[in-house]
A = this chain, B = another copy of it.
Amino acid sequence: MDIPENHPRYRSLIIRNALVEGLDEGLVGKAGLIAHGRGEAFDYIFGEVSNQFALDAIKASAASLLLARHPVISVNGNVAALVLKETVQLSKVIPADIEVNLFYWSRNREIKIVRAFERECPECIVHTQGKEKLIQGLASERSRVSKEGILDADVVLVPLEDGDRIEQLKKCNKKAIAVDLNPFSRTARKADITIVDNVVRAFPALIEEIKRLRGSPRTRLKELSNFDNMRNLEKAVESLRELSIK
């Protein structure tokens, strides 16, 4: 795709391009492109920077991931297309396993995503959806998890996700950390901690925060991990009130 460098939305169009390439490579689903567009709009509104409400959520997430017994990063096609390297770095620095979970599941796409991660990091543990269900009786394919991965996890980082999955994780008493640019979404409101930021900025910031906090006393980490998510989302929404067309 040929994007003129002087286009005022150049950077945003380049990120779009990563998604389109992800679609061509079979990593990204078609509906994933639309979901990305939704995020783009909120990113635009929030000024395409990591705001204070994002940085606060990132700090709480870093502390929670460091305290976890078994943290897992749940990934989909958009995560693979946008932050493959950063996800691998994150999985090493926490350390955490990676598990592939797809809204529109296909074995073909799952394999392609696993291979993309394994190419980037041959030693990484990459789980796929197994026969086990997070919640028995639920029909959805997406409820399927890996026995060694999400089923056993106590903290799950679920960037770019859908509200249903967060609800399921909550029902199983797992701590859910979401990355979602839409502060009104079910995902954002159901998660324990919601990072309202572009994953492209949030993941590098999370990696740095984890490096900074590593070695802190557990009491300090517990303090930081205790987070009033609704209050923080309200701050994100409040920032919208200052918007003007001029």
Residues on A lying within 8 angstroms of B by beta carbon are: 1, 4, 7-8, 13, 16, 19-20, 23, 30-31, 33-42, 44-45, 104, 139-140, 163-164, 182-184, 186, 189, 230, 233-234, 236-237, 240-241, 243-246
- Chain B residues near A45 (CB, 8 Å)? 184
The listed residue (B37, B189, B246) touching A37 by CB distance below 8 A is: B37
* Closest chain B CB from A45 CB (angstroms): 7
Q: Which of A35, A41, A233, A241 has the most CB of B within 10 A?
A: A41
The listed residue (B38, B243, B246) touching A40 by CB distance below 8 A is: B38
Query: Is B37 touching A34 in the complex (CB atoms < 8 A)?
Result: yes
Query: Is A41 touching B37 in the complex (CB atoms < 8 A)?
Result: yes
- Decide: A34 near B31, CB < 8 A? Known: A41-B42, A163-B8, A245-B237: no
For the complex, give the distance between the alpha carbons of A7 and B139 in Å: 13
- Decide: A237 near B244, CB < 8 A? Known: A23-B30, A31-B20: yes
For the complex, give the distance between the alpha carbons of A130 and B20 in Å: 28
- Chain B residues near A33 (CB, 8 Å)? 30, 33-34, 37
Query: Is A243 touching B245 in the complex (CB atoms < 8 A)?
Result: no
* Closest chain B CB from A127 CB (angstroms): 24
The listed residue (B19, B104, B234) touching A34 by CB distance below 8 A is: B19
For the complex, give the distance between the alpha carbons of A8 and B19 in Å: 26
* Closest chain B CB from A91 CB (angstroms): 27
The listed residue (B1, B35, B163, B244) touching A31 by CB distance below 8 A is: B1
**Closest partner residue, chain B, to A33 (CB atom):** B33
For the complex, give the distance between the alpha carbons of A112 and B209 in Å: 51
**Closest partner residue, chain B, to A104 (CB atom):** B1
Q: Using A20-B31, A183-B245 as known contacts, list a sample of 11 further A-B pairs with CB atoms less than 8 Å apart, ordered by residue number in A.
A: A20-B34, A23-B30, A33-B37, A34-B40, A36-B37, A38-B40, A39-B41, A40-B41, A234-B245, A234-B246, A236-B245
For the complex, give the distance between the alpha carbons of A237 and B44 in Å: 14
For the complex, give the distance between the alpha carbons of A243 and B183 in Å: 11
